Structure 1
């Protein structure tokens, strides 16, 4: 059993895709004065880059990971990126209840990866 770059490439692409998607979904919240049609168009443009990372991540990772594991990795990354985004970009504080909730999600991830 040798070294495989597959998990690193997969997770790296998933992180990249989540950064793009988080900005596509929530970045416009700082621009409330902009027309809705404009933020939708900009969000679609950003989401294109998300798909350019997400689709290859799943294709590369599938086989090394099963579909449930890929989805679990995706969700953990999504929450992690979102926490950083909401604190540093939106300036929102994270509450202890959110941390506990994310902890329960991480516990669920543990069960997905346990044989």
Structure 2
């Protein structure tokens, strides 16, 4: 097992949780607030995303090339976003999420094949 990849995936997963909330949580919780209040709060949340994301990419780049690192990030983004949409934003699940995930599996295949 390549521990650099495991560490990178864990850090990227945690960073993506912060970024998803920074980008979208204000759409639920702060609609009545001016946009600049949401922006400042989002920047505060995004700080923690960068604290995790930068070391994740540095660690991951020791074992993966840049396209591999990026596609892993995109898969993690979808993996974090779907539960966020369903549980936090209270929006229904759609079959399109499954199809998007299958497309991502294809992207992973093409990026990682020898």
Matched, 1:87 2:86: yes
**Alignment partner, residue 56 of structure 2:** 57
Consecutive aligned runs of 4 or more in structure 1 exceeding 4 Å deviation? none
**Alignment partner, residue 96 of structure 1:** 95
Q: Contact between 2:82 and 2:97, CA under 8 Å: does it hold in 1? A: no
Unaligned runs of 5+ in 1: none
Query: Normalization by structure 1: what TM-score?
Result: 0.93
Unaligned runs of 5+ in 2: none
**Alignment partner, residue 27 of structure 1:** 25
SS at match of 1:65: coil
SS at match of 1:32: coil
Query: Normalization by structure 2: what TM-score?
Result: 0.94
Q: Contact between 2:4 and 2:62, CA under 8 Å: does it hold in 1? A: no
CA distance in 1, matches of 2:31, 2:73: 29
Q: CA RMSD in A?
A: 1.1
